[in-house]
Each structure stands twice: as C-alpha cells, then as structure tokens.
C-alpha cells in the first residue's frame, strides 16, 4: 500500500506518518512514497509514471493526500489498483478548473473513498457530490466543519481510512 503526500510534502507529513502507524497496527503494510517534484502539468505525467513504476505486479491500495490523490487517480486509471483513498481531493480550486480530475473521478474503476472537509475550498462539495453520485465505485464522505488540512478532524479521517481499507482489501 502506498501513501502519497500533498504537493511539496515529504515522507514526514504528519497525517501520513500517523496513518502509516495505524495501518501497520491493523496488519497492513503501508509505505510513504514521495512523488518527484517535477513541474505539475494537467496530466501529471512524470508523477504518474513514477507511481506506475512502484505499483509492481499486483493490485495495491493507494492513499493520496491532496495532490497525491490527483497522482493516485491517474495511476489507477492505467494500472490495476485494489482501492484508492483521496484525503482532501483538490478537484476544482477557485478559478482553476481541472476537467481531467473530474473525468477520472467520474470514471474510476476501483473502489474509491473521498474524505472531504465540508469547508474545503479546493474541493467544493457542489463539484464533488455530483461526480461521486455518477459512479458506484466512488464513496464521498464529508467531515463536517473540516477544511482542506482537516485540523481537529484528522483523527477521524485516519480512522475512517483504516476501517474502509480493511473492509476492501483481500485477506483483511
């Protein structure tokens, strides 16, 4: 299982470090992997190719925090992936439409959980809700009062991620 930080994040991103610890305690084997810092293009090709090279021969789960979720969805569209979790998905920041991100979410082929803060300006619920409603594979769960960084809602986001992954991964 791969955990991807947000844009400019490192393997020491606190949310992912805590989540990795909780996933290990639940019997899973997460690895925090940092995408290359190549200039992001709409297709995120350098980051996607990097992630595809890590996926190996069998399906795995990918947890992406913000920008990491954008990379996760692109890789999942090209390779077999067991499950995807998007923690604060920045589908449409103010005045910056991302049609490819919207298409990828609408057409995801694997179980995908989107955990989104109700006050996240980068992934407005009025954009995410109809996209999730059009795809049976996508589950949108809202953290009331949370913004993009989750803040005091982070513990709930981590717990829900672990619970959701355990219910979907083979052998768990």
Distance CA(98)–CA(91), nearest Å, equals 6
Longest CA–CA separation in the chain, Å = 43
pLDDT exceeds cutoff 60 at 172: no
Instruction: Read off the pLDDT of residues 114-151 as tens digits, 9 standing for 90 and up.
Output: 999 999 999 999 999 999 999 999 999 999 999 999 99
DSSP line for 18-84: HHHHHHHHTT---EE-----PPP-TT-HHHHHHHHHHS-SS--EEEEETHHHHHHHHHHHHS--SEE
Question: Rounded mean pLDDT of 77-95?
Answer: 95
- As beta bridge partners, residue 62 has 2, 84
- Which of these, 150, 144, 155, 88, lies nearest to 115 by C-alpha position? 88
* Tokens representing residue 107 in the block: 């057409």
pLDDT tens digits along 18-60: 999 999 999 999 999 998 887 777 789 999 999 999 887 677 9
pLDDT for the residue 39: 78
Would you mind telling me the total number of residues written for the chain in this entry?
A: 172
d(CA 101, CA 120): 16
Q: Which of 40-54, 88-102, 158-172 has the highest mean pLDDT?
A: 88-102
Query: Other C-beta atoms within 10 Å of 12: how many?
Result: 10
- Please enumerate in sequence order all residues whose Cβ is within 8 A of that of 160, keeping only pairs 6 or more positions apart, or say none: 113, 115, 141
CATH 3.40.50.1820 given to domain 2-168: yes
pLDDT of residue 36: 85
Residue 74 sits at φ, ψ, to 5 deg, of: -65, -45
Question: Tell me, what's the pLDDT at 56?
Answer: 75
Whether 148 and 117 have beta carbons less than 8 Å apart is answered as yes
For residue 43, the model assigns a pLDDT of 85
Q: What share of the chain is helix, strand, coil (3-state, %, to 5)?
A: 40, 15, 45
Q: Would you state the pLDDT for residue 100?
A: 96
> pLDDT band at residue 171, thresholds of 50, 70 and 90?
low
């Amino acid at each position: 299982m791969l955990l991807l930080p947000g844009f400019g994040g490192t393997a020491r991103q606190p949310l992912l470090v805590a989540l990795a610890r909780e996933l290990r305690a639940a019997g899973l084997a997460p690895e925090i992997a940092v995408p290359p810092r190549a200039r992001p293009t709409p297709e995120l090709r350098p980051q996607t190719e990097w992630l595809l090279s890590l996926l190996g021969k069998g399906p795995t789960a990918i947890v992406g925090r913000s920008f990491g979720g954008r990379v996760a969805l692109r890789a999942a569209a090209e390779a077999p992936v067991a499950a995807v979790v998007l923690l604060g998905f920045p589908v449409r920041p103010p005045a910056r439409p991302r049609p490819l991100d919207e298409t990828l979410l609408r057409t995801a082929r694997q179980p995908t959980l989107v955990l989104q803060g109700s006050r996240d300006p980068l992934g407005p619920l009025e954009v995410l809700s109809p996209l999730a409603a059009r795809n049976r594979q996508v589950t949108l769960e809202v953290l009331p009062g949370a913004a993009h960084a989750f803040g005091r809602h982070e513990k709930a986001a981590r717990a829900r991620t672990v619970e959701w992954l355990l219910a979907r991964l083979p052998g768990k």
